[in-house]
Amino acid sequence: MACGGIARIDWRGDAVGDLGAVTEVFGYVMTGEMKVMKQFSLNLKTIFLCTVATMVVSVATVAFAQIDDSLPSWNDGPAKEAIVHFVKEVTTTGGAKFVPSAERIAVFDNDGTLWAEQPMYFQLEFAFDRVKALAPMHPEWKQKQPFKAVLEGDLKTVFAGTKHTLLELMMATHTGNTTEEFSQIVENWIATAKHPKTGRPYTDMVYQPMLELLAYLRANGFKTYIVSGGGIEFIRQWAEKVYGIPPEQVIGSSIKTKFELRGGNPVLVRLPEINFINDKADKPVAINQHIGRRPIAAFGNSDGDLQMLQWVAGGEGPTLKVYIHHTDDKREWSYDRESHIGRLNKGLDEANTKGWTVVDMKKDWTRIFSFDELRKVKDQDRGH
């Protein structure tokens, strides 16, 4: 059956509009007003069948596009299929694995999961910049480590120090101000600072496929949380603008604060004392304290996220556990078991043993950053 003869008819519109067009054609037929139809070399049966076929194909195409466009930066494969299948299962009303929207909670690590973490954690870059900004008020830093090394750009010496060394840097650069003052400092920095390798703003170093995933989950009734080892007040300043995650849904490490009246104004002062380190086994503790529900989906990229994924895996009902595996040394960085940042060793073993989803960044993502060109992976590249 050839339908080219009626291709000139504009059947655009929704299903109701299309049906109206078909009805109009049949109206001419039933009243004997067939003059309009003389321009077509097709009989009534052909017109009808072609019209219906066009409508069906159009509706099917739109429906497919809506599904496909939800995760456009994801290649088809086991990782994408696992995510889409899980979401369909827990959102199908009346289904055996349906989960009420109030219980659809997904938690995400930040560094290495939602945005890059190489060549060093971005918050550490912020601390280094703060050392340089505060140095005029601390002349003693020119001779005192680790500040001396930071000012001289000697990162080897900085990282050769102990955890206490980095903690000293963080306390000196993140405290002594009010929460409002610190928020403004972070906001100014994130708006101007550039990544040392790409020269782009740090907010451009966010993973495009993960932004799509966050939006996809929220569109399906999920509430999305950040559960990071990074500073809670640092992330809260830009998370909503970048990820669409509001401040109250950010969980992270924190320092102690104290209420004071300054000039009659109530403020919270940031003290040089650790309050909570949100990493490894303490992530599930923080989730329980801040959320009060066990999530049904968790996404991480390192051994520091292992206990969070284990906590989710131990819940009743359907769960989704996902590791982001850094495998693309061309568009990003390739690292896992031996990396000093974002090491993925025990977590990778457990994921493989228990059948958790592991996202291969090189194979599963058509692009990593929004500024990347799309890269479709062929079946032979997957080893099929």
Task: Report which secondary-structure segment, H or E, holds 110.
Answer: none
Is 78-117+206-382 assigned to CATH 2.60.40.730?
no
Q: State the first-to-last Cα distance of the chain, in angstroms, to the nearest integer.
A: 38
pLDDT at 62: 40
pLDDT at 163: 87
Comparing C-alpha atoms, which of 167, 145, 168 is closest to residue 157? 145
Q: How far apart are CA 44 and CA 41, in angstroms?
A: 10
DSSP labels for 96-160? TT---GGG-EEEE--BTTTB---SS-HHHHHHHHHHHHHGGG-GGGGTSTTHHHHHTT-HHHHHT
User: What are the C-alpha distances in Å from 60 to residues 22, 56, 77?
Assistant: 18, 6, 22
Residues of the chain predicted below pLDDT 70: 1-68, 375-384
Alpha-carbon dihedral sign for residues 281, 286, 292, 296: negative
The residues, ordered by sequence, that sit 6+ positions from 262 with a Cβ below 8 Å of its Cβ are 178
Extract the tokens encoding 117: 């973490």
pLDDT at 69: 76
The whole-model pTM stands at 0.82
User: Within 10 A of 122 (CB to CB), how many other CB atoms are there?
Assistant: 22
Task: Write out the residue limits of the CATH 3.40.50.1000 domain(s) in the chain.
Answer: 78-117+206-382
pLDDT at 55: 47
pLDDT at 377: 60
Which amino acid is it at 113? T
How do 297-300 and 320-325 pair as beta strands?
parallel
Which amino acid is it at 20? G
pLDDT at 183: 98
Which amino acid is it at 181? E
